[in-house]
Amino acid sequence: MKMKILVLNCGSSSLKYQLFDMDGEKVLSKGLVERIGIPGSRVKHNRGAGDPVIRENDIPDHGAAIKMVLDLLTGPETGVIKSMDEISAAGHRVVHGGEKYAESVLADDSVMRAIDECTYLAPLHNPANLAGIRAMQEALPGIPNAAVFDTAFHQTMPPEAFLYGIPYKYYEKDRVRRYSFHGTSHKFVSSRAAELLGRPIERLKLVTCHVGNGSSITAVDGGRSVDSSLGMGTSPGVIMGTRSGDLDSAVVLHLVEREGSVRRASDIINKESGVLGISGISSDMRDIFAASVEGSERAALTMNMLARSIKKYIAAYAAVMGGADAVVFTAGVGENSDTVRELSLEGLEFMGIKLDKAKNAGIHGSEAEISTPDSPVKVLVIPTNEELMIARDTLGLVKKRPDEKVCSAS
């Protein structure tokens, strides 16, 4: 069975895409459309080796963006497939599935309505994700579209993990609760960790640390998320590029009062805090590391605060699960920064974590075990691949369909 799957991640003004040949899980092409609906729209299209193709065109909406991507994928000069008929299905990243979706689904009318109903939980993302699905339905009406939710993997959290300590009626009325995000990444790295450790995922306790510009730590017990550090919103948990991490409500209320509006307080917490806010230098950990080497005390403080927040979650989640077999680092900072990994694990020897510092220092963006051979708790670096996870989920859903016609597309 030959299957080519187009994976789409639509933001409010951007679209990232990858075309997979599922026979060998090869990436045939990938690219990025930027500034959709804004002057200066452009596409950067890669197809294997060679320089990327850059096109600067007027791209008013997601429909036009997808049409352009399909033209590039099939064009005589830029293409990797002969015709659009070769695309068997599309998989879409959808940020919020609320409490309704614990797994990926094929997007029919009722799914589209449900995604729309979750817009109040993800006002910037869900409308863009929906626009992407609609645009694909129009461009290629014959193929299925899968919705792969960032929240789905965390729907296995028990109520004691997902409820907040506020009156229960707010959960009943408004579904105020922890949802957390990055589920596709946590699912991908946990299943890869099980493969690397050579043990069934059902018998593993993992703490997966997705530390990037946005970050979340998850307790994965037997392959199921049982706690996760992001919440109803995307600012709690560990300190992030521009988001605060965990905050006392007194601080939130103070900011609202001091700055005079909820919107301004929200901007401070989400866009001006975290690594950027503490350091006053940058939201990018590479800049912070460089500044700290040059002697900036605020940069050093920022790194220490970030590492301390990660450490607290690792230990807390091991406690929640009654132990941990492995700690996994992924995403931009987790995959690349040996310094953040080392600082985060410092002092966790008491719970059986022994880092091989020399090995850790040599790992930047590649898969590796960085604990010592005798470490009771393994430490792994696993580059995340959310797009591949979306493609795999899409393939699984398409194979399950009673109508197998699309599966034989070549």
Site track for ligand ADP across 337-376, x = CB under 6 A: x--------------------------x------------
- Pair 244, 274: CB distance under 8 Å: yes
Taking the least distance from each CB to ligand ADP, the nearer of 22 and 209 is: 209
Distance CA 93, CA 248 (A): 32
Closest CA to 81 of 144, 134, 21: 21
Contact between 143 and ligand ADP by CB under 6 A: the answer reads: no
Minimum CB–partner distance for residue 145 and ligand ADP (Å): 23
29: left (phi over 0), alpha (psi -120 to 50) or beta: beta
Interface region with ligand ADP, contact rule CB under 6 A, candidates 86-94, 227-235, 284-292, 320-328: 284-292
Q: Which of 150, 227, 338, 393 is catalytic?
A: 150
Q: Between residues 187 and 224, which has the closer beta carbon with respect to ligand ADP?
A: 187
* 330 contacts: CB under 8 Å, gap ≥ 6: 185, 189, 208, 209, 210, 211, 381, 382, 383, 384
Alpha-carbon distance values, 301 to 53, 275, 276, 278, 328 (Å): 42, 10, 12, 8, 24
From 73-81, 121-129, 325-333, 354-362, span contacting ligand ADP (CB under 6 A): 325-333
Instruction: Tell me which of 128, 321, 333, 348 binds ligand ADP, using CB under 6 A.
Output: 333
Instruction: Give CA angle at 239 (150, 217), nearest 5°.
Output: 45
Query: Which residue from 92, 87, 115 is spatially nearest to 8, judged by alpha carbons?
Result: 92
CA 223/CA 90 separation, integer angstroms: 26
Is 150 tagged catalytic?
yes
Nearer to ligand ADP, 203 or 286 (CB): 286
Among residues 78 and 279, whose Cβ is nearest to ligand ADP? 279
Nearer to ligand ADP, 155 or 292 (CB): 292
3-state secondary structure of 8: strand
Of the candidate residues 122, 285, 363, 379, the single one contacting ligand ADP (CB under 6 A)? 285
Whether the CB-CB separation of 70 and 139 falls below 8 Å is answered with: yes
Q: Which of residues 171-200 bind ligand ADP (CB under 6 A)?
A: none
Return residues touching ligand ADP (CB under 6 A).
212-214, 241, 284-286, 289, 331-333, 336-337, 364
- Which residues form the catalytic set? 150
